[in-house]
Each structure stands twice: as C-alpha cells, then as structure tokens.
Amino acid sequence: MNGAVTAIIAAIFLWWFSTGVILLAVRRADRSGRHQALVLAGLPLLVVGVGAVAASLMRADVAGVYLGFLGALAIWGWIELAFLAGVVTGPMRADCLPGLSGKARFFRAFATVSHHELLLTVGLLGLVLASGGAENHMALATYLILYLARIFAKLNLFFGVPRINMEFVPLRLIHLKSYFRRGPVTLAFPAAITALTALLALCTERLWFAGSDAAVAGYGLLTALVALALLEHWLMVIPLPDAKLWRWMLPAPKTMPKEER
C-alpha cells in the first residue's frame, strides 16, 4: 500500500510541477521572443527521456518502472514545449474564418496543430517499436494515456464545452482561441468521459490485485495519470478555479498586437 501511495503522490506532483515549469518557460519566451532558443535549450530533456526509456525497457523492478514513467514524461514534455513555444504547430497560423463550420472548420483547425500531432504520433510509434519484446512497457503505457487524453481534450475544445481556460494560451498560439468553442457539451464529452473512466477502472483493478512492488508502483502511477486526465476533462464543465494551481508561479503575460504574430 505504501508503494501505491508513493506512486500516486509522485504522479500528481510530477504532473503539477512539469506543467508549471513548461508554462513558466513559455511565458518567459513570450516576453523575450526567444522561442526557438527555448526549444533548442530543452533538447537535453528529450535526450534524457530517450535514455531513461531505453534504460527501463529490460528492467522489471521498481526503478525500471519509474525510469520508464519519467522517460515518457520527458519525451512528451519536450514535444509539448515545442508546441506551446509555437515552433512545432502546423502550417495554419491564422484565426478561424467567421462563419466557417463543418468539415472546412475541422480541417482548418487540424492544420493549426498537424505538425504537433504528427510529432506526437511519431513518438508513440517509436515507443511501440522500442517496447517490442521488452520486459517493461511502462513508458509506452504512460505515453499512450497522455496521447489518448490529449486527443479527447482537443476534440472537446473543438466541438464545444462550457468552460475553456484561455489564460495560459501562449502568444504564438493565440489564434487557436478562435477554433475553440464554448457552449453545451457534445457527444465528444461523454465519449471521452466513458473511455477515461473505463481506463481508470481497469488501472485501479490492476493496482488492487498487483502481485509485486513493481506492479504496484506501475499501476499506481498509471491510475493517478488517468485520474488526472479525467479530472481535466470534468473541469471543462465544472466551474472550479483550476488556473490558480499555476498562476501564482508565472510572470504576467505580455500582450502582442495581432499583426506581430
């Protein structure tokens, strides 16, 4: 039980801390204009992540579990940094056209993030290939949960949810706001909630019946990660001030005229 509690607390802290660090780095890049330099400076994070994943694959112990989890988070974190810094996004960097709807709106919205989606998918495929025949699939499981949760979140922001936190959208991604839709939930929301709840139940059941310290640590980390993803989706409809978790640690945002984007 202690191993499960430790893993859950570790996952929650790493989620909060890593999100805050990325937001802080991007906010400072917005103020200095050094977005590409930020992404290049973050490359060691990607290298360390790949190295941690490689070191974890043939380790079925607790240390291997944490190595895989941290490695996947590091790879994911660098890709998110590149996206939020506006370096890896998509070919479309303009606002959504007024009155655009249906397939035209969907494909235009996808073009704003297509390069990011491609890079995330390449990362997933790389982990699938690397994990073939490995004893430890923690890195792949971690990344896959993040990947699925991100797809669900983006679809709901596109189709519509009552609450959208616009506060932390970086300057170079300010055009994305025009593709978000604030309104009643659509079928995308119950679909996401159902899938994430089922995944949470599965991870919780595996945690409850875990037969080794490594399994306890692994399913503790994954259970917490899925629970956080589910919470993030519920915060799209429940009016709670979630932005306060990070607002206190960030400098004031810099405003930028539309023509300078």
- pLDDT value of residue 77: 95
For 195-229, b/e burial (b = at least 16 CB within 10 A) is: ebeebbeebbebbeebeeebbbbbbbbbbbbbbbb
List, for residues 178-212, the tens digit of each pLDDT value: 999 999 999 999 999 999 999 999 999 999 998 89
Calpha distance 190→192 (Å, rounded): 5
Task: Please state, for a pLDDT cut of 90, what percent of the chain lies above it.
Answer: 76
pLDDT digits 0-9 by tens, 61-81: 999 999 999 999 999 999 999
* Crossing angle for the helix pair 188-208 and 213-234, to the nearest 10 degrees: 160
Contact (Cβ atoms closer than 8 angstroms) between residue 3 and residue 62: yes
Tally Cβ neighbours within 10 Å of residue 247. Answer: 13
Pick from 194, 192, 184, 190: which is nearest to 160 by CA?
Answer: 184
Q: What's the mean pLDDT in 118-132?
A: 95
Q: Which amino acid is at 216?
A: V
pLDDT digits (tens, 9 = 90+) for 135-160: 999 999 999 999 999 999 999 999 99
Q: What is the mean pLDDT of residues 108-124?
A: 96
pTM of this structure: 0.92
